[in-house]
Amino acid sequence: MLVVEDDATIAKSIATAMKPSLEPIVVGQLATAREALGEGDPLAAAVVDLMLPDGSGLDFIDELRADRPAMPILILTGQAEPALINRAHALHAEYVCKPHFHDNLKDFLRRVVQPPKDGEQRLVESSRVFAAKHSLSVRETEILGLATSGVPRGRIADVLGVSENTIKTQIRSILDKTSQNSLSDVVWMVRQPSQPGG
C-alpha cells in the first residue's frame, strides 16, 4: 500500500496503522512515488497528501487513476477548500482533513483489507448488467470486468493476450457507449452499491 506523505510523524502513524495486514511503501515526494509505481509491485490502495514538496497530490492521483481506475485512494490534507474536495470526488478518492483523521483512516484500511464478503460476486453481476445496458461487446465486457476487479489499466492487454492498441480502441468504444470521459468514471459507476446497473 502506497503512502505519499511528507510529514514524517503522520507518515509513521499511517504506516503503523496498516501493519500487520498491509505492507506500507512510504514516500515523501511525488518523484519517489512515481518510482515506486514503476517497480510494478501490486498496490492494494494509496493514501496521498495534497501538498507535497514537488507537486500536487491531486495531479498524482489523476495519474494513478489512468492505470488503476478501481484502486481505493484516501486523501489526507489540512485543506478543506470546496474546489479541492470537488476535484477529489471527481477522481473517486475519499477526502479526510488533518489532524483528526485516525478513525477515518481505520475505516478505510478495514474496507481495503476486508471487503464485503459478497462484494466480488456483486461486482461481477454489476459489470454484467452494466455491460448489457450499454450494449458492450464481449471483449469490452471483459475489459470492464478486469478494470472493475482492480486489474491495472497497463496489465489488461497482457491478461487478455491482445495488443495495447486493441485495448485502447476497445476502451474508446466503451467510453463512447457510456458517455463517460475515462475508464475510471465507468468503473466508478459499476461499483456504486446503490446503482449496480449503472
State pLDDT tens for residues 18-63: 888 888 899 999 999 998 887 766 788 999 999 999 999 999 999 8
2 compared with 102, residue with greater pLDDT: 2
User: Would you list the domain boundaries of the chain?
Assistant: 2-113, 119-191
Integer Rg of the chain from CA: 17
Domain 2-113 class, CATH top level: alpha beta
How long, in residues, is the chain? 198
Q: How high is the pLDDT of residue 198? A: 42
**In terms of pTM, does the model score above 0.75?**
no
Q: What is the CATH code for 119-191?
A: 1.10.10.10
Question: Where is pLDDT greater, at 45 or 115?
Answer: 45
